[in-house]
Chains A and B, each alone.
Chain A
Amino acid sequence: MNKLVASHIYKSYEDSDQKIEVLRDVNLEVMPSELVCITGKSGCGKSTLMHILGLLDSPDAGTVLLNGEEVTSMMPDAPSIRTRRIGFVFQFHYLVDDLTAMENVALPMLIAGSAKGKAMQKAAELLTWLDMQQRRGHYPNQLSGGEQQRVALARALVNQPEVVLADEPTGNLDPEHSSEVYHIIKRLNEEFNQTFIVVTHDPQLASFADSCYTLSGGILKRN
């Protein structure tokens, strides 16, 4: 069974009496443990697509199936679906300033209702895997950009989601740290069979992907 299927997705916005069609009949199938890359020009609707796949926004038409279950009609339950089944990584790390790296990673588990001890243990394991064990007590402002993004990745993974949606995860990083993040994503994909959908401008990251799509004029095409 496909991990994630988006069928006939339409999305448009009204802008000063003008209707802008951002997504037009977008179809996407992502297989389990696949690393999918979506590229496209700025403002072409990549992030909008990610938001729809991540149940942060609803499409005008179309459906999203997660492990065969139609989730677009379950928007009221979207928070709990996002907590347990979808991981998010953004261009800006969006870590919680008041929490240490380890607490940030544990946060989704705590939101899901896990006990603190269990969440911290899992967070510590993930940070160790990401070679961040020495930095787990540090606050976000004490971490470098690459480290912050690694913490954000660990946070996205801590609840073992079915799919991780990464929206320009290296958009705010220098080439060295970007490369570091690509390799981590690739390793996670290969070692843990983690499914990724990554939106990026970066051709280097696109080259790591199992399949690559381009979004242009609201239409998604497989390269």
Chain B
Amino acid sequence: MPLLSNLERFYLEKYLRLPHRYLFSFSSLFMIVGLVISVMVLSAGLNLFEGYQKTLHSVLLQSIPHIDITHASNEFVNNKETSRILSSLDKNPAIMSADPVINLNVMAHNDDHTRMCLLKAYRHDKPKGEVWYHKYLIDGEILPRDNGIIIGFYLAREMNVGLGDTLLISYPQLNRISAMGMYPGQRELIVTGIYQSGYYEFDRSLVITSTETAQGFLLSGHVYSGIEVRLKLHYVNKTDQLAREINPGPFYNVIPWTTYYSGLFRLIEVEKWLIFIVFSFLVLIAGINVISAAQTVMLDKRNEIAIMKTIGAASTSLKRLLFLRIGVSCALSVLIGQAMGVIASYLIVKQKLYHLKGDVYFIDHITMHVSLFNQVIIFLVALFIIMICIIIPLRKMEKVQILDVFRTV
């Protein structure tokens, strides 16, 4: 049995051929405007949230190490052990880079400005293109010279320093103990590069230097805090499995990035769909207009309904016709709303008045992503809500009595 009868197909063709005549009448104006606005808000909200989620995911996974290998008791790892672990990672095709690193919490000072930072020291014995922050460098040199540091864009701004300026770094030094307790060492380091990864936390508080410089002021010899493993991007989703396969020895922790961040991404995912549900209520409210518009159409078309029943149209068929008429205009309104949602989210991304607070949202700029899946979900959910709203008044179609209509004319 065909989905639409000849009569329904005939009407549908008419509606689609001349939508301005049949579908967008004055009586349905408020219904259409309500639907377009509510769907626009829903679509824009989801586009922006999807953009945020995707950007944060991308920025984060291109900045942080995907797997950290550290000593189980947080001790430094000597050069020999480090080389042994590195050689065990050599043949793993999923690994893009494995870098021995010294991690140190330090304080950066310049005049009255002070900030707690994380200092990461890397060996700079690989080509520039293979250094993970290579693509984020916006000024200066990719490889810090002796006593040189690369700092994030926001840290440079906050400390009011630029290339060639010096930044006083205070660091804990275990062998410097006074009567008052341990006191830090200090060293002036020269800013030789500035990077901007987009991940606000790094851009504001990460200081990169060479292992030689760090080992020099730590007086620690050739030791490392651990090894940072970065995976090829298409393996990132398999990090947990790959981390389990890495076996550096019994005294080491292998920590995938998901340990720290999967909760964050789950939270964002949940928030996204919560926003979707909340905004769907707007569509539901707009649906009230659909109910009233459907009732108006039924009243307007009472005579036509009666005459069509007279010439043999079944109530079910007439219900389907009115359902098509209102449903098609609603579906078109939803599509227009979705398109306007894309435009609205684009305009929001392009505006300069409001920026995200990086310390709250991890990234400082608004982004959008139009996902086909999300758009299909929006369309289906909006259509489902609308369908219910149309069906409610159409149930009264049975009550339209031909003779009552003829008698009242």
Contacts and interface: CB of A to CB of B under 8 A. Distances in A.
B317 interface: yes
A182 to B, nearest CB: 23
A71 B240 CA distance: 76
Interface string B1-36: 000011101100110000001100000000000000
Interface string B301-335: 00110111111111001000000000000000000
Interface string A84-107: 100010101011111100010001
Contact of A82 (B21, B311, B317): B311
A112 B10 contact: no
B111 to A, nearest CB: 78
B251 interface: no
B406 interface: yes
Contacts of A111: 7, 308, 311-313, 317
B347 interface: no
Contacts of A82: 310-312
Interface in B157-181: none
Name, among B5, B13, B304, B312, the residue most crowded by chain A CB atoms within 10 Å (CB to CB).
B312
A111 B9 CA distance: 11
Contacts of B307: 90, 94-96
Interface residues of A, number: 32
Nearest to B22: A98
A90 B303 CA distance: 12
A84 B312 contact: yes
Interface in A95-133: 95-99, 103, 107-108, 110-116, 119
A194 interface: no
Name, among B14, B403, B406, the residue most crowded by chain A CB atoms within 10 Å (CB to CB).
B406
A165 B403 CA distance: 15
B64 interface: no
A180 interface: no
A119 B7 CA distance: 10
Contact of A79 (B6, B303, B314): B314
A98 B14 contact: yes
Contact of B310 (A88, A92, A116): A88
Contacts of A99: 14
Contacts of B9: 116
Interface string A35-71: 0000000000001000100101100000000000000
A55 to B, nearest CB: 10
Given A96-B304, A114-B6, A115-B6, A80 B312 contact: yes
A90 B14 contact: no
Nearest to B405: A94
A83 interface: yes
A110 B312 CA distance: 10
B72 interface: no
B204 to A, nearest CB: 63
A220 B14 CA distance: 46
B303 A94 contact: yes
A56 B312 contact: no
A81 B310 CA distance: 10
A40 to B, nearest CB: 17
Contacts of B309: 79
Nearest to A87: B311
A56 B311 contact: no
Contacts of A95: 307
A97 B309 CA distance: 16
Nearest to B309: A79
| Nearest 4 pairs of A and B residues by beta carbon | A83-B312, A94-B307, A110-B7, A79-B312
30 contacts: A47-B406, A57-B403, A79-B309, A79-B312, A79-B314, A80-B312, A81-B312, A82-B312, A90-B307, A92-B409, A94-B303, A94-B307, A95-B307, A96-B307, A97-B304, A99-B14, A103-B14, A107-B7, A107-B308, A107-B311, A108-B311, A108-B312, A110-B6, A111-B7, A111-B308, A111-B312, A112-B312, A113-B7, A116-B9, A119-B6
Given A90-B406, A111-B311, 5 more contacts: A80-B312, A81-B312, A88-B311, A98-B22, A116-B6
